[in-house]
Amino acid sequence: MTHPDLQTRHVQVNHDGLAIDAYVAQPAADGVYPPVVVVQEIFGVNAHIRDITERIAREGYIAIAPALYQRFAPGFEAGYTLDDIKLGRQYKDQTHVDELLGDVQAAIDFLIQQPASQPGGVGCIGFCFGGHVAFLAATLPDVTATASFYGAGLPTWCPGGGDPSLSRTADITGTLYAFFGMEDMSIPAEHVDQLEAALTAHHVPHQIFRYPDADHGFFCDRRASYQAEAAADAWQKVQDLFQRSLKDKPLALNSEA
């Protein structure tokens, strides 16, 4: 499919000798644009993730979606059947936090070397497993704005084992927005509360958005759990976050952004 308003391409980024497939989208018009990393769900860099990458580019960013299963499932992308979910979770359980952070950093390094990349901060947005990874990526020094969608297990798990990812909250130096559907059985309400408490305790600029009638995956219009109203509201909040922290002056460091 052609996009006259965009430039899209498949590229590879390198991390420790591994060539990682990635999808890049940017406005077709000449100019410089803030860089944003899009972090996949358990289903790989599939049509939904590529669509989000393009949607971000249309808002005036250069965006990249790296394939985080490259080591053990190159080329993997799936739909949303029960078999797809089972396989995606199997691959998720093979990931390790250090490799994930290195892969995201490799994607950042690729972006900031592009002529169309605007100097300054980097944004990150992730969904499902990618929401968890986006929280981890918020600890990278280049990342100044993070949108984490329904990332499960933050207080209880970290890819590859060790202390749960929430224990890294103090290392976040930018602003984090997190989005949850309160009908999501995979994320107890108390986990959302623990995330909010940790962000507040460590003075991380943040907002937590709870959608009472939304389930896991509410942002994905290809899933039965899609909730249009919540998705539209969340998308507007993501645009506001990236506008304020990547295009405009940085947000002030306070407990609530």
d(C-alpha 24, C-alpha 196), whole Å: 32
Catalytic residue among 21, 103, 142, 184: 184
Catalytic residue among 48, 124, 128, 191: 128
Q: Which tens digits make up the pLDDT trace of 77-133?
A: 999 999 999 999 999 999 999 999 999 999 999 999 999 999 989 999 999 999 999
Q: What is the pLDDT of residue 249?
A: 56
Domains, the chain, in order of start with CATH, read 6-244 (3.40.50.1820)
216 is known as an active-site residue: yes
For 89, residues 6+ apart whose C-beta sits below 8 A from its C-beta are 42
248 vs 197, higher pLDDT? 197
Q: Which tens digits make up the pLDDT trace of 145-154?
A: 999 999 999 9
Catalytic residue among 124, 206, 216, 220: 216
124 is known as an active-site residue: no
Q: Which tens digits make up the pLDDT trace of 162-196?
A: 999 999 999 999 999 999 999 999 999 999 999 99
Q: What is the pLDDT of residue 2?
A: 53
98 is known as an active-site residue: no
d(C-alpha 144, C-alpha 120), whole Å: 9
Q: What is the pLDDT of residue 254?
A: 37
- Taking residues 9-31, report their average pLDDT: 96
